[in-house]
Amino acid sequence: MGSVTPWDVTGTVQYDKLIKDFGVKELKQLPSPFSDNILFRRGIIFAHRDFQHIVHAIEQREPFIMMTGLMPTGKFHIGHLLVAQQMIFYQKLGAKIYIAVADIEALGARGQSFEESKRIALEEYIPNYIALGLDIKKTHLYFQSKRSSNATKSCAYYRLQNQFARHATFNEVKAVYGDISPGKLFAAMLQAADMLHPQLPVFSGKMPVIVPVGIDQDPHLRLARDISKRQKYTEFSPLCSTYHYFMQGLSGGKMSASDPNSYLALSESPAVIKKKINKYAFSGGCSTVEEHRKKGGNPDVDVAFQYLRFFFETDDAKLTELANAYRKGTLLTGELKAYTIDKINSFLERHQVKLDRARETVLRLFE
């Protein structure tokens, strides 16, 4: 059996059990504009806390915010597409987008320097967001170590972190990081400030904020939600969150930037993508062609199929057709992999042209 904590995800993840254990709500199918997005439509975003406030804001055309943060470690890979796609989805719906580069957390939790975090954020994450369609000029992007050159704003953010420290317990921080060190305590309070500070009067003011995360990050959400209710300095609209499945690593488990054989990076060449999928992608097929033709395969555990389902096959009818053919045994693992490689590489070919351009934009804006 697997275990899921913000610092480690192992084994088979039982999402139904997590919904109960964490006390989040199952997300029911929603109409347009949500159903226009494959993550919602295909149930990849499967649970939430207080998402009705966001649905209401969108329906009533009221202002709302999407907030997220990135710990800049390693290459930007297809697992990162889950949140990136949601940023762009919400921005198009009119949300203000706040993005924290979690360089203080990277220092406190992993010992990574601010310079290294900045380099990775500017070379990997931000250009990919732009290339995927994020309008960076309309995005409130900041580094935790340098919130704003406007002193009033900057002080308001760090003041919030310090006020929050009065309202959290050791056990809550332990649930977030597994252990407690001064660096982790500070990082946990700062992440709560990341999620709540957009509602301060000097930023956007009180309004619903959606934080889309993998379910492993829920302890952060619980902590911030509870603190916001315990403290009485500021009135906050309750934090809303949605939870998506993990993008599986090539050989199963969660895709991780620290294991190159688990991820497909968005900057990798067609030859590398092909080699990695053929060599490492876990197959739901049978071990011989004869057996597969007879018994069929299982697309639900097939990693290549999951990549199609999460992102690369946008046509629902085609996806169903592939799943059925695979189950029947008429579609072989090699054929499914070849189809997936082709889909990913044609996406990457277009993406990488935009990525080069986005890197130049980033140099102009942030250097």
Which one of the spans 53-61, 191-199, 232-240, 241-249 is the region binding ligand TRP (CB under 6 A)? 191-199
Name the residue nearer to ligand TRP (CB basis): 27 or 100: 100
Name the residue nearer to ligand TRP (CB basis): 6 or 297: 6
Which one of the spans 54-62, 99-107, 117-125, 164-172 is the region binding ligand TRP (CB under 6 A)? 99-107
Which one of the spans 64-72, 126-134, 247-255, 292-300 is the region binding ligand TRP (CB under 6 A)? 64-72
Show Cβ contacts of residue 257 under 8 Å, excluding neighbours closer than 6 positions.
73, 74, 75, 77, 263
Number of residues that bind ligand TRP (CB under 6 A): 13
From first CA to last CA, the distance across the chain in angstroms is 46
Out of 100, 122, 273, 308, the only residue in the binding site for ligand TRP (CB under 6 A) is 100
* By CB under 6 A, residue 78 contacts ligand TRP: no
Using CB atoms, what's the residue nearest to ligand TRP?
69
Name the residue nearer to ligand TRP (CB basis): 129 or 305: 129
* By CB under 6 A, residue 67 contacts ligand TRP: yes
Out of 13, 45, 195, 319, the only residue in the binding site for ligand TRP (CB under 6 A) is 195
Name the residue nearer to ligand TRP (CB basis): 102 or 281: 102
* By CB under 6 A, residue 69 contacts ligand TRP: yes
Out of 24, 37, 77, 105, the only residue in the binding site for ligand TRP (CB under 6 A) is 105
Least distance in angstroms from the C-beta of 305 to ligand TRP: 27
Name the residue nearer to ligand TRP (CB basis): 195 or 348: 195
Name the residue nearer to ligand TRP (CB basis): 58 or 176: 176
Out of 103, 124, 172, 194, the only residue in the binding site for ligand TRP (CB under 6 A) is 194
Out of 117, 191, 241, 248, the only residue in the binding site for ligand TRP (CB under 6 A) is 191
Which one of the spans 11-19, 63-71, 134-142, 269-277 is the region binding ligand TRP (CB under 6 A)? 63-71
Name the residue nearer to ligand TRP (CB basis): 18 or 100: 100
Least distance in angstroms from the C-beta of 187 to ligand TRP: 8
Q: Which residues pair with 248 in a beta bridge?
A: 254
CA-angle at 276, arms to 273 and 278, nearest 5°? 105
Residues that bind ligand TRP (CB under 6 A): 67-71, 100, 102, 105, 191, 194-195, 211, 213
